């Protein structure tokens, strides 16, 4: 190896370019989860508010009083509704695959809790027997079916399906993701491509010295 020249192992060079490339593949278009996130926000608002405004138009569950806040409603309606709203907002605005995935998982947990929460509530309020802690649906037989679906089971199933759909879309690297990966921002491009100033310039070889005879006796 010549003096003054620097050479890096190919493994190190590939590692330097691989890291920024992986960061770029984490970018997703904001439209990837916009529609799903918007729908999850709407479902979360519905699930969190319907126990308090439903009695205004005869859509009641457990009690016919409006704006009655209890611990059971907080755990079975407000908490999963907030999870759907927060997860949907993250999906709506995030352009990062990991962040959007966290929002989808949060919304998925909220949807599952809407479905399983009424059954689990029997563990902390066993005095109601087969009923759950939130009470029983009120009204006629058809209205009770709609209340069960709109308050818990249908709402949770739809939210779970939307969150799972969002997770599936985030797991796929599409054409738009490849185009975003090719468009490296200036900051990442500066990391992936070493600056010319950091490269050590090669030393020029010293000039050849004349033979000893010429230096002593001069040219003849």
3-state secondary structure of 66: coil
Kindly report, residue by residue over 83-122, the tens digit of the pLDDT: 999 999 999 998 888 999 999 999 999 999 999 998 888 8
The pTM (predicted TM-score) of the whole model is 0.69
C-alpha 124/C-alpha 100 separation (Å) is 34
**CA-closest candidate to residue 20, choices 213, 190, 195:** 190
Q: Is the pLDDT of residue 47 over 90?
A: yes
Q: Is 150 buried (19+), middle (13-18) or exposed (0-12) by CB count in 10 A? A: middle
* Max CA distance (Å), the chain: 126
Q: Is the pLDDT of residue 11 over 80?
A: no
Kindly report, residue by residue over 66-94, the tens digit of the pLDDT: 888 888 889 999 999 999 999 999 999 98
Domain range list for the chain: 28-178
At residue 1 the predicted structure's pLDDT band, cuts being 50, 70 and 90, is very low
How far, rounded to the nearest angstrom, does the alpha carbon of residue 9 sit from its chain's CA centroid? Answer: 36
C-alpha 160/C-alpha 103 separation (Å) is 13
> Average pLDDT, stretch 16-22?
49
> Average pLDDT, stretch 147-158?
94
Rank 31-40, 194-203, 204-213 by mean pLDDT and report only the highest.
Answer: 31-40
Q: Is the pLDDT of residue 157 over 80?
A: yes
Asked if 20 contacts 188 with a C-beta cutoff of 8 angstroms, the reply is yes
């Amino acid at each position: 190896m010549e003096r003054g020249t620097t050479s890096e192992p190919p493994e190190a060079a590939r590692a330097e370019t691989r890291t920024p490339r992986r960061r770029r593949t984490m970018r997703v278009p904001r439209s990837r989860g916009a529609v799903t996130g918007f729908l999850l926000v709407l479902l979360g608002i519905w699930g969190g508010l319907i126990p308090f405004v439903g009695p205004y138009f005869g859509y009641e569950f457990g009690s016919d009083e409006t704006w009655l806040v209890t611990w059971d409603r907080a755990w079975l309606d407000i908490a999963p509704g907030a999870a759907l709203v927060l997860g949907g907002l993250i999906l709506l605005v995030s352009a990062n695959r990991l962040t959007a995935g966290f929002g989808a998982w949060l919304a998925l947990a909220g949807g599952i809790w809407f479905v399983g929460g009424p059954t689990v509530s029997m563990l902390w309020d066993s005095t109601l027997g087969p009923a759950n802690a939130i009470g029983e649906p009120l009204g006629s037989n058809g209205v009770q079916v709609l209340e069960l679906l709109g308050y818990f089971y249908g709402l949770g199933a739809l939210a779970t399906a939307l969150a799972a759909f969002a997770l599936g879309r985030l797991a796929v690297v599409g054409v738009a993701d490849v185009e975003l990966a090719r468009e490296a921002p200036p900051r990442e491009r500066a990391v992936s491509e070493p600056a010319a100033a950091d490269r050590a310039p090669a030393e020029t070889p010293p000039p050849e010295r004349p033979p000893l005879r010429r230096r002593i006796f001069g040219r003849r």
